[in-house]
Amino acid sequence: MGYVAIKGGAQAIEGTKTVFDYLRTRQSDEGVPLDTDTIENQLRLLHSRVISEGGVYHPRLASLAIKQSQGDTLEAAFALRAYRSTQPRLVETPVLSTGNMRITRRISSAFKDIPGGQMLGATTDYHLRLMRMELLDESPERFRAIAQEMFDTASVDNIPDSFPKVLESLRAEGLLPPLDPKAHNRDPFDITREPLIFPVSRSAALATMARAEQGSLLAIAYSNMRGYGDVHPTVAELRVGYLPVFLPHPITGELTEIGEVEMTECEVVAMYDEQGSSSVARGRTPGETEGDEGNTKPTFTLGYGACFGHNEVKAISMAILDRALQKGMKDGPSNPSEDPEFVLLHVDGIDSMGFCTHYKMPHYVTFQSDMDRLRSTQQKQTSKESIA
């Protein structure tokens, strides 16, 4: 008898690949392979999610990842992330201002009238979630006509490319703490090149959340919203659009636009900090939390969220958690969403899904060892009882 329990691994693995790919192609005669442009456009939000969690802005490979993973967001982000490991980090961009974003949507729930106006853009927020039966059998002609008709009626001339930030007006009124002039000089923390060693900087926390799994962020942020926390946020501004990316020209050194990335950004304003409490900075956290430095007047506090792609729920969740974590870093965590270790070590989709999946692997040896301990304990119990 051979090693029945675990033999034949190589062949079995090959088999799983074949049958997995069969399921992708089994539509047979009517089947048309998905092309990556279709995924990027028609599954736009799925694509956004994968590019954000994958943590590398490569729209074409993100589409490919979705295609080969057959639509599993965790798997697709995972493939993209693994690809990233093969690429060296060659240059760093300077700090980019989201004030220069080419906006496709921006809203504020703090003010009815914001400078530049509310621009709803593409959203399902106010849609009735009724089944659109007409899409069940959509003709290619009708499909193309929708895109063409869009610009027949829309006036495109009087829309500016960019809009001022809502926060600027709040800051001008003294309702927010002034910008930290030292922030620009601080090096951002690169989570792809350094491990998180707690306590971590706010920059490390933001970077971790920017590529976190949306559902995980949402769940922890929701716990804060429901009562395991007290951020009570107001969305000062949520903007979606394309952010121009600049790099120094290799010869002249002059900053040159090399392209743009689609991003979602959210800034939440939370209830103000008590007077004086801000000076009691606890722990060994680098002083990166706003309102930390000698600011005695009470002000609103801020939470910030931003990620690749169009992911509004993620950006809002991140902003709430940023606020909660800043509070936890300062006063010590009073619930899970304020605990940097709890939040930051459990929101990465690649880490958590990988570890969850690994339980399907054989654990024969450790289980043998478990049985040994249990039997030994049982035996001792039995002999004890027989004496008694």
Touching other proteins, residues 327-356 (CB under 8 A): 341, 345, 350-356
Rank residues 209 and 353 by Cβ distance to other proteins and give the closer one: 353
Torsion angles phi and psi, residue 241, rounded to 5: 170, -165
198 binds other proteins (CB under 8 A): yes
Q: Shortest distance, CB of residue 65 to other proteins, whole angstroms?
A: 11
Provide the edge-to-edge strand list for the sheet that holds 234-248. 102-107, 234-248, 255-270, 301-308
133 binds other proteins (CB under 8 A): no
Q: Shortest distance, CB of residue 238 to other proteins, whole angstroms?
A: 29
Rank residues 1 and 131 by Cβ distance to other proteins and give the closer one: 1
Tracing tokens 């089944």 back to the chain, one arrives at: 131
- By CB under 8 A, which span of 36-44, 78-86, 273-281, 302-310 interacts with other proteins? 78-86
Residue 53 contacts residue 213 (beta carbons within 8 Å): yes
Residue 269 contacts residue 108 (beta carbons within 8 Å): no
22 binds other proteins (CB under 8 A): no
Q: Where are the alpha helices (DSSP H) in the chain?
A: 9-25, 36-42, 44-54, 59-68, 73-84, 140-153, 166-172, 202-210, 214-226, 312-331, 340-344, 349-358, 364-387
String of b and e for 104-124 (b: at least 16 CB within 10 Å)? ebbbbebeeebebeebeeeee
Rank residues 159 and 356 by Cβ distance to other proteins and give the closer one: 356
Q: Shortest distance, CB of residue 37 to other proteins, whole angstroms?
A: 21
Q: Shortest distance, CB of residue 74 to other proteins, whole angstroms?
A: 10
196 binds other proteins (CB under 8 A): yes
CA angle 193, 195, 198 (to 5 degrees): 145
**The only residue of 21, 35, 37, 372 in contact with other proteins, by rule CB under 8 A:** 372
Q: Shortest distance, CB of residue 203 to other proteins, whole angstroms?
A: 15
* Binding-site ranges for other proteins (CB under 8 A): 1, 3-10, 12-13, 78-79, 81-82, 84-89, 191-199, 341, 345, 350-359, 361-366, 368-373, 376-377, 380-381, 384
